[in-house]
Chains A and B, each alone.
Chain A
Amino acid sequence: MSNFIAEWGNTIVNGLSDTLTMTIITLIITIIIGVPLGILLVETNANGMYPNATLHATLETIVNILRSLPFIILLFLILPITRLLVGTTIGIRGVILPLVVYCAPFLARLIESSILDVDPGIIEAYQSMGISNYKIISRVLLREARSGIIRGLTLATIGLIGATAMAGLVGAGGLGDIAYQYGFQRYQPDIMYTSIVILIVLVQIIQTIGNVVSRRLTK
């Protein structure tokens, strides 16, 4: 056991830290893009607060297209854009953009559905009190949708961790990469299983936290 730790401890810790770094950075950018996108999907719709058929149709199309591409395809498909925007297509820096492009539309859909779950009567009540649409969205809708939003975020984070496993393909490292390289290519099953167990535990922890927070916020 202590031998194993001495030999592989560093590799695994690095892998975990790469996975967490990719996940956290991507998650932050995903939230910044996905939440407003989800709100736009709801409010530009015909019965939303700012109906706009053209904008709505455009957003729908973009989201649907991006949602239909598997991450691995997306990763290569947008390589030129990645190079243009980030300056590199490898390492953690190179993988953040594809991860965001993959994850933000997914989160937007989850945000959309949790906002749609809020009783439209509440919006009407707040409009009748003379409160502006902007305040209704930011202070009332998001508040009432918050437990659904947390559940969506949990789902998106877990999906994201799954996608980071493929980041090894562009040399971004992470636990998924370690499991693949050592386990599959060099046939060292113990390090493969260790990485996998850590990934499973990570997902469990995130799901549990998500559940608890979401339940707390349901009130």
Chain B
Amino acid sequence: MVENSNAPLIEFKHVSKTFKGTATTKEVHAVHDVSISVDRGEIFGVIGYSGAGKSTLIRMINGLETPTEGSVKVDNQDITQLKKEPLAQLRHKIGMIFQNYNLLKTATIYQNITIPLKLEKIPKDEIQQRAEKYLKIVGLWDRRNSYPSQLSGGQSQRVAVARALAHEPTILLSDEATSALDPETTSSILDLLKDINQKLGLTIFIITHELDVVKSICDKVAIMEAGNVVEQGRTIDVFTGPKQEVTRQFLGSNDLAGVPASLLAETQKHNHVLLIKFIGNEASIPVIAQLTKQFGVEPNIMAGSIEYLKEQPYGKLVISIENNDQYDAEIQYLRDKGVIVEEVG
């Protein structure tokens, strides 16, 4: 691929995809007017419920699906305009991993890496070198003579990652690659992807319905609902300031860090309950102390949590402030200090 570091590596422009109805099925607007751009070296996540159109979206990046409207460009080439041969060339540079791994059952782990390379007519010694290199990266060189049926789900997915990497791609697509795995295995695969992103500079495009995937590795995120991208941006921005109700639901933005509803109702009789969000863990407590100094109120901390968005701490605090006539000024004061404040209704 041509290096052109300014332009986005993947660019969807007003892309729609409609599946024609048949005698027995209705027409489906799987993707509707989606515009997304993914920069080089980024990990971009798309999150949404089942049937939102995520798989259809990702499959348009490597031409497994063609848009009915709009354009999809990869490295400045319009994927829909490519003829067979250039499309094949481009696909060699776009690796893809799947929920079901899709390994050959009849082939060993080693052969699962080498067979696709052979079919692409890569020289033999080069194939051997790559198989060794990438099986070592995913930590399965020792298991090279095993068959997929002898591996766990996590190991199988590592083989699939190695198979994708062995083409030395610039982009890695992942369609629900961790959805069939337990949380621990999921995080080990995510760590592997993060590592690959950092060490090999791969751009990664991830489809998922799991929030943890987005939280732990995505630089940017798009939220998809019923074919539309309803919100997108830097993960940290979307988490701290979700604009759409769907986004809030999806990200658990309205979640009060475990305060029970009964306690909330009781507290709200004489208090304002506030949800405070902040990035970085130093900011919050001193701000509340300063609030006390300034206004003489004594906020009560009801609950709190700190999560990490790709290593960035992101905190939530639920506090209650006894009803008083300076309430508006107090909220303004907190906002001026740079924390995000929402009154819990």
- Residues on A close to B: CB < 8 A? 119, 121-122, 124-132, 135, 139-140, 143-144, 146-147, 217-219
Residue in contact with A128 in the complex, picked from B64, B103, B104, B149, CB distance below 8 Å: B64
Any chain A CB within 8 A of the CB of B17? no
Cβ–Cβ contact B167 & A119, under 8 A: no
Residue in contact with B106 in the complex, picked from A125, A126, A129, A146, CB distance below 8 Å: A146
Contact with A along B92-103 (1 / 0, CB 8 A): 101110101011
In the bound complex, residues from chain A placing their C-beta under 8 Å from that of B106 are: 143-144, 146-147, 217-219
Q: For the complex, what is the distance from the CA of A135 to the CA of B84, rounded to whole Å?
A: 14
Q: A128-B173, A130-B90 known; 17 other A-B pairs, CB under 8 Å?
A: A119-B100, A121-B100, A125-B102, A126-B116, A128-B91, A129-B91, A129-B120, A130-B88, A130-B89, A130-B91, A130-B92, A131-B119, A139-B119, A144-B104, A144-B106, A146-B106, A219-B149
Any chain A CB within 8 A of the CB of B87? yes
In the bound complex, residues from chain A placing their C-beta under 8 Å from that of B91 are: 127-130
Name 20 A/B residue pairs within 8 A (Cβ), A-sorted. Answer: A119-B100, A121-B98, A121-B100, A124-B64, A124-B102, A125-B102, A126-B116, A127-B91, A129-B95, A129-B167, A130-B89, A131-B119, A135-B119, A139-B119, A143-B104, A144-B105, A144-B106, A146-B106, A218-B106, A219-B106
In the bound complex, residues from chain A placing their C-beta under 8 Å from that of B285 are: none
Residue in contact with B62 in the complex, picked from A119, A128, A135, A217, CB distance below 8 Å: A128
Instruction: Give the shortest distance, in Å, between A216 (CB) and chain B (any CB).
Output: 10
Q: For the complex, what is the distance from the CA of A131 to the CA of B121, rounded to whole Å?
A: 11
- Residues on B close to A: CB < 8 A? 62, 64, 87-92, 94-96, 98, 100, 102-107, 115-116, 119-120, 147, 149, 160, 167, 173
B interface: dominant SS = mixed
Cβ–Cβ contact B98 & A129, under 8 A: no
Which residue on A lies nearest to B91, using beta carbons? A130
Cβ–Cβ contact B167 & A219, under 8 A: no
Which residue on B lies nearest to A136, using beta carbons? B119
Which residue on B lies nearest to A118, using beta carbons? B105
Instruction: Give the shortest distance, in Å, between B129 (CB) and chain A (any CB).
Output: 18
In the bound complex, residues from chain B placing their C-beta under 8 Å from that of A131 are: 88, 116, 119-120
In the bound complex, residues from chain B placing their C-beta under 8 Å from that of A218 are: 105-106
In the bound complex, residues from chain A placing their C-beta under 8 Å from that of B64 are: 124, 127-128
Cβ–Cβ contact A130 & B120, under 8 A: yes
In the bound complex, residues from chain B placing their C-beta under 8 Å from that of A125 are: 96, 98, 102, 160
